[in-house]
Structure formats: structure tokens, C-alpha cells
Structure 1
Amino acid sequence: MNEELQAVEAELLARLPETKIDPTLEREQALMDLLGEPQRSYQSVHITGTNGKTSTARMIDQLLGAFELRTGRLTSPHLASVTERITLDGEPISAERFVEVYRDIKPYMEMVDSGVGVPEREGGPLPLSFFEAVTGLGYAAFADAPVDVAVVEVGMGGTWDSTNVIDAAVSVVTPIDLDHTDKLGGTPGEIAVEKSGIIKPGGIAVLAQQPVDAAQVLLKHAVEVDATVAREGMEFGVLSRQVAVGGQLLTLRGLGGEYPDVFLPLHGEHQAHNAAVALAAAEAFFGVGAAQNEPLNIEKVRAAFASVRSPGRMEVVRRSPTVLLDAAHNPAGARATAAAVQEAFGFTRLVGVLAVAKDKDVRGVLEAFEPVLAEVVVTRNSLPRSMPPDELAALAVEVFGPDRVQVETRLDDAIDAAVALAEEEGDLGGAGVLVTGSVITAGEARVLLGTLEG
């Protein structure tokens, strides 16, 4: 089956990459029409934002599952296997089922590729992209399962993202910051225009704390479509948090009341805020704060959060020295990770391994990590978009100085070099390595190093 999955993945990767965006829902909607609108056969929660989408999606998934709902989850990108993008009841779809669903819908994808159901365009029809195809595969798999509710993370933006053929009753916007500025806009407010498109008429919009200009755009759109709004810091939020062994202990204020003594096995203040957003989204889905005024069952909420895992997000994969993986790939994410590392681990010496896409704000990422890294080993991951190590090193030297930068052309060599640098101090208990810069970097390092859970 691995060979069959690899063959299917190769066919999908032969399509336009997910970084190539043609802003229209026409192809995805045509595929849905040919498949009989599978995305209408279950309820959905839709999530956009700049950072925290995948972790928030995982939390919402766990919360809904705790209340005996069968869940599907669509997230991107993946760490190691394409099957991770589509989950059923919190677990990646099996390779066998992934292949089966792909084969079932492949003839319909080929029809859309040839222009069936899509308005004519100059130069001929544009085939479905990799992301459009995987989105269609996910929606079909959810309908076939069947699931009660799908938790869906956008790929990029919102309005024209191919996931936006669903009609979600609850739309979630995690914090908006600068990323994909060439496609979405140069300010949080401009980016919010695109992301606000997932908020549906008459639905509920759950909004994390936002920059002022982004908040104004989101609220304006919500009013225009007569959506109910729940805002972090107003209708819900984090009341308190304490660092705990293996995570943090929270008191959350939800739409229906307070939820004390909630253990979250994830590090960082940003994850506490993601938890508040996820709780409000689950409450909104169940009608808490509207028709239902009682809070959700506190024991089920606690059990759901305690079982949350977010691979590749501040994930410990080795001890002595501690090796952390994190998918931070923009300055806002890097700042959150840097703060979380300091708070949760208190390393006396932390060495970074950085491989980042060349179309990102690389200097901003370097500047965010500089205060917490003693040294940085720059390298690349396997994607063509990864910045060449020599170019990354030139930028890193400007931020860190020449004595704190080392270059390795291979990720495995970079990790080995960073471990050696961390061990130079002799105090392995206080030394650490942080591998970061992109989801791909974290995923490839995860494969190289394995995980503590095996």
C-alpha cells in the first residue's frame, strides 16, 4: 500500500503546487457539483488566520469529539505524510482509504481538468491544483465516513481558498499578521479583507485578538453579512495561566461561563489563546451563549484539552540535550516560539537550526530568534523554495554577527552540528536545540530524529 500511496501522491504533486494560487472557486465548486456536493452532508467549522490555525483546529477537533461527534479534520501542510492532511476522529486517514477515495474521485477531477463545469478561460482550462485536489479528496472522504462535523483549515487567505465551498455555521479567525503579503496584502487590514470571506451570512464568527485594522475589517464584514461575533477579550478569553510540567494550567472564560483547572499539554502563551478560541468555537457550534446558556460539561472539556497534541509545534523529540521542533515560519510565529521557549524551558544555552522559504520575511524571523539563540546553524530543507544556505547565512551574519553563524548544506548535518554546539557547554540539562523555520523543516527533522513517543 505504501507504493500505491506514493504513486497517488506523485500524481497529486504533478499538479500545480499549492503555492501557485489562481483566485477562483470555480474549479473546486465544479468538482463538488460532479461529486454530488459531499461538503453539504455534514456541518463544518472553518478556520483562517496567519498563525495558530492547525493547533486551534486540533483543539476544536478534540472538543467536538469529546461530545460524541464523529469528526473530520482538513489541515495543511503535512509534516511527513500527505495522509496527515485528512483525519477521521483525530487520526490520519489510512493510506488504503486515501488511495481508495482518490481512485473514486479521479475521473471527476479529470473532467474538471478538461473544463467540465468551469467557465471558459483564455488559454484553455486550468487543471485542479494539488491543494484543490486534496481538498476535494478530503470532503469526499468525510462524506463517505460519514462524519458529523468537519473542522477545516484554509490553505491561504479565505475568500478564494478552495476550502471555501463549505457553508460553515462557525467561522474562526486566529491572529492575523504579515505573511503571504505578495498575494494577500501588505497590512493586517488588507489581509483581513481576504480572510473575512469565510464568515458566512447568519453564521457565527469567533475572532481571536487582532491588530486594530484587521479587527475593523472583520467586524465590518460580519455586520454586512449579519453574522454574530464573539471576540477574544470581550465575550471570551484567558483568565489565568500557569506554567506546569509538560504544558500549562488554564482558567478560560467561555461564552457560557468559566472553565477552571484546564491542563493544556502545549507550551506558550499563544497556545493558551488558541485554546480560548477553540473553546469559544466549540461552544458556538453547540449553541452555548445563545439558545443554550449553560457551559459545556467541564470534565469533557478538561479531558479534550488534556489529550491535545500538536506535532511540530514546540515538540520535544530528544533529551540531553533537548531538541525541539517548531514550525514557525514568519516573524509573529517566531516571536511566539521564542517567548514560549524562554518561559517553558529556561535553557542556559540554546542553538538554532534554521531552514526557511526564500519568499518569507527571513530577516524578520532571524531578528525574532536572535535574542534567545546563542548560535544558529543555517541550512535548507528539501523544497525548491527553501532559501540556499549561503544566502541565508549572509542575512544571519547581519543579524547575529559572524561568530554566531554556522552553515551546513544538509539538514541532518545541521542538526548534528547544532547538537555538538549545544553540548560544548557541558551542562546538557541546560542546553537545547531548536529546529525551526517552516513546517517542512520541522517535518523533515521529525523524520530524521523520530519522536519520544516513537
Structure 2
Amino acid sequence: MARSATEAPRRATNGTATRPKRAIRDLQSAVEYIDSLVNYEKQAWVDYKRKKYSLARMSCLLSALGNPQKKFRSVHIAGTKGKGSTCAMLGAMVSNCGYTVGVYGSPHVRTVRERIQVNGELISDDDFAACIAATAAAARKPRVGTPTYFEVLTAAAFRHFADVGADLAVVEVGMGGRLDATNTIQPEVVGFTSISYDHQEQLGNTLSLIAREKAGIMKPGVLAFSAPQVKEVRAVLKQAADELEIPLKFTGEDVEFSLRFEASRGIGRHTRLCLTTPSSKFEHLHVPLLGEHQAINCGLALSIVDALKSRGFTLDDQRVMDGLAHVKVPGRMEIIREKPRILVDVAHNAASVNALMRAIGQNVIADSMVVIFGCQKHKDIRGMIRGIQLGADKIIFTRTSSPRSADPHDLAAEYLEQCGRVGQVTESLEEAMDIALSAVSREDLICITGSFYLIAEAVRKYSEPQPAGV
């Protein structure tokens, strides 16, 4: 039985990690092992202190594993929203130029193997089990101690990238940056997606404090790029870069960048961008992911592609564009069923919900939209609901499967207070879907959003059946 996420990590009497309950030989036993570890992603409350979030244990674990993170070059991506999409686009563009590229991200939607990919392919069951087994064995060595769920997955990803001889790893920060387990790499380039309010209990209750934590991935001698930021965030990132005496470039300011929304018969509604540097020129490039926010993420990814050219990577612009064209990211404006139309998106803070509502309004034609919404209790609930009510014709509040889930009755009360409208309340996604299905017609849209946990459940239960062999 998996150990409660609120319990302390299991330790042997000598201070080292205990042996897994059974040998790790396959995917199931590997998942059982990591599920037995402390998982801060699932805890109802996390006290963000150096004692809990320390790079010392992660460094010891990687050392015991042979320091796999030193065997490949990397790019490190931090931010509040858009990290996963940026990593996916960057990975696809570089891999299409003939390089072996690993991408590490979190959380996952369908399977934990999504977190570790090489050239767009998920790590295999056997390789996942082998890397987790190797990491578990390393954790039992003296002075390492019991790692967390995220630390084991991060170390296993680094081990896999080293095993396959990755030329580049694109690594997404889990939370924050300064004390994140991924901050053990020495990257070629670091990038910052849009930074806004999220995880305030851990990172701080002002944008300056949040930005300072994320700026912690900057390192001496490492190029830094950022998507456009609000003034407060921009100042913090600039100060951090100045202290390290490294260049920091913002797309739209230091990197020539523009975007526009358009519609055509062949592609439909979409966004195009232009980005120009002394060594790259991308004109009217079609962004495969919907929404203006994804064009901004794409601009950051292209800026990093250009920077990698100066670091010795041979990247042909046409092959870069061809690689971008086929990018798909699970849980980002993903239509999982056509009849009725069900769209899922992992928007989980106020800024991403606002971006989602704008993107749906621009790109999806529907007579009306029913939103099923559930989120974590420590989120900016007021801000998220303010964003949702701008696009929803009907809102159904529900509970996520996480211990951190907000009470749907509290969500409905906030909605009533803000908007003067009554939302329906359910205790489960199934109940919410029953109500939504009874309310929509053929031309309507059901949108499920607010939490990775809710989206994962929706994808599992309501995705269109795949044809045999797919």
C-alpha cells in the first residue's frame, strides 16, 4: 500500500533509504516504488524550507548514480505558465535537425512515462523500470538518504538521457527554480516563460519574491532569455542577471518578435509569428498550438534555438520549422472527444485561465460553452473564477482527486459573490459530466479545466476510443 504523502520519507536506521518492498523489474513495480515516496505534488500543505527543498540530497543521489547530468548538454526552463509547451516545442525543433533530444517535464496527464521523452517518444516501460531501479539502488548508498518522488524521477530522467547519449536535454523546472531538484544541471541556456502568481505559500506572496526564486536557475556564463514579463518581474530577472554578469534578452525587446492572429481555409484559426536575429529569420511561422500565449512560448523557444547555434549546434531554419509543425502537447486545449465536443486544458492559475478563455474565444467556434472547473485550495481562486466567467455560459464546480482540492461549494460561493450568478456544485467529475451532457447540444462545447488532476481523470474516462493499433 502506498505511503501517505504527508508522512516523512521512510529511512533505515543508518540514515540511508530503505530497500523497495519488492524488486523493481517492470513498470508496475517501478510505479509502486515511487508512489511509496514522499510526493510534495500531492501534499495538502508544503512548507518550502531549505531543509525540505535542498539540493544537497539531490546532488548526493546524482553522485551515487555516476553524475549522469554531466554527460549531456542541457537547456533549463522556468516560469509559471507555458513551461511544458515551450519545452515540447524546443525539443521538437532541435531533434528534427538530427540531434538526440531528451525532454523532462511535469506533471503528467496520461502516464508517468510522459515526463521522460527522447525525440518525442515516451520512455519505454522497460527503460523506465531500469532507470528507477538504478536510482533506488543509488539512494541506498551511504549519506544519500531517502529521496522524494520528484527527485527520483528527475535522477531517473538524467540517467536515461545519459544512457541514450542525448545531445541535449530540455529540462522543465518543477516548482520555483532555486531549490528545485532540476537545478543540478549546468545548462547551455536558461529560459523564463511568463511569470505570474502561483505557489505563493512556497515561493512568496509578491511577484518579486516569486521571480527571485525562479531566477535562481541563472548561472555564471550561461545565456538567459525570457518571454515578455510585467515590470516587477522584469526588474528582478534583470537584477539577477546583472549580479551574475550574464546577458538576459527579452523577446519583443532584445529579440525582434511579433505575432498576429488569422484564419484560413486550410489551417483554420491560428496564430503566426515573426522572429528575427542576426543568425535566424522566421517569417509568418504557423504556431501549431492554439492561443496567443502559445505564440509567445514559441517565440521564447525560437530565441533559445538561435542561442544554441552560438553554442555549437547546427540548426537549419527550415528543419526547425518542420519540427515545430508537428508538436502536440497533452492537456493543452486538447479535444478529447468530438460528440459531444470535450476540450481539456491544464490551466491551473489565474493567468493561464485568462489565456485559455481568450484562446477558446479566438479559435473554437461554439454556440455556448459549459465549463467544468475544479482546482487546488491554495490557488488564486478569485482570479481563476474571474477569468472563467468571462467565457463560460454555464459553470459546474467539482472536486479534484487531490488532497489539496478546493471544496466545490466554496468555489460556487466565490462565483456567486463575484458574478452574482449561481453555479452548480458536484462532488465528482462523473456527476459534473452528467449535468454538462444534459445541457449541451451538438454545436456546444464542454471545457474541463483548473487542475492537472481533474484533466488526468477526464482524459482517462472520456477520451475518444483509439482505433486498434494506435
Q: TM-score with structure 1 length normalisation? A: 0.90
**Which residue of 1 is the match for residue 455 of structure 2?**
442
* 8 A Cα contact 1:247 1:266, kept in partner: no
Give the alignment of 1:13-412 within 5 angstroms.
13-19=35-41, 20=46, 21=48, 22-111=52-141, 116-117=142-143, 127-244=146-263, 245=267, 248-255=270-277, 256-287=279-310, 297-403=316-422, 405-412=423-430
**Which residue of 2 is the match for residue 121 of structure 1?**
none
Q: Which amino acid aligns with 2:436?
A: A
- 2: CA distance, partners of 1:306 / 1:360: 34
Where in structure 2 are there 5+ consecutive unaligned residues?
1-23
Q: Which amino acid aligns with 2:34?
A: L
- 2: CA distance, partners of 1:368 / 1:440: 20
Alignment partner of 1:422 is 2:440: yes
- 2: CA distance, partners of 1:117 / 1:296: 43
- 2: CA distance, partners of 1:205 / 1:42: 19
Q: Which amino acid aligns with 2:393?
A: A
Q: Which amino acid aligns with 1:260?
A: E
**Residue 165 (structure 1) shift:** 0.4
Where in structure 1 are there 5+ consecutive unaligned residues?
119-124
CA deviations on 1:210-267 (whole Å, 9 max, x unpaired) are: 1112111111111222222221112325423233435624232143343123222211
- 2: CA distance, partners of 1:224 / 1:451: 51
**Residue 66 (structure 1) shift:** 1.3
**Residue 338 (structure 1) shift:** 0.7
* 8 A Cα contact 2:376 2:451, kept in partner: yes
* 8 A Cα contact 2:273 2:287, kept in partner: no
**Residue 176 (structure 1) shift:** 0.6
* 8 A Cα contact 1:323 1:432, kept in partner: yes
**Residue 96 (structure 1) shift:** 1.5
**Residue 102 (structure 1) shift:** 1.2
* 8 A Cα contact 1:247 1:265, kept in partner: no
- 1: CA distance, partners of 2:248 / 2:27: 42
Q: Which amino acid aligns with 2:299?
A: A
Q: Which amino acid aligns with 1:351?
A: V
**Residue 451 (structure 1) shift:** 4.5
- 2: CA distance, partners of 1:422 / 1:253: 41
**Residue 296 (structure 1) shift:** 5.1
Bigger helix share: 1
Sequence identity, in percent? 33
- 2: CA distance, partners of 1:239 / 1:392: 37
Q: TM-score with structure 2 length normalisation? A: 0.87
- 1: CA distance, partners of 2:410 / 2:285: 44
* 8 A Cα contact 1:243 1:344, kept in partner: no
**Residue 276 (structure 1) shift:** 0.4
- CA 1:375–1:59 in structure 2 vs 1: closer, same or farther (change >3 Å)? same
Q: Which amino acid aligns with 1:447?
A: R
Structure 1 segments, 4+ long, off by >6 Å, are: none
* 8 A Cα contact 2:270 2:363, kept in partner: no
Q: Which amino acid aligns with 1:442?
A: I
- 2: CA distance, partners of 1:317 / 1:266: 15
- 2: CA distance, partners of 1:311 / 1:451: 14
- 1: CA distance, partners of 2:439 / 2:446: 9
- CA 1:420–1:134 in structure 2 vs 1: closer, same or farther (change >3 Å)? same
- 2: CA distance, partners of 1:394 / 1:228: 47
- Compute the RMSD of aligned alpha carbons: 2.2
- 1: CA distance, partners of 2:439 / 2:256: 41
- CA 1:238–1:322 in structure 2 vs 1: closer, same or farther (change >3 Å)? farther
**Which residue of 1 is the match for residue 4 of structure 2?**
none
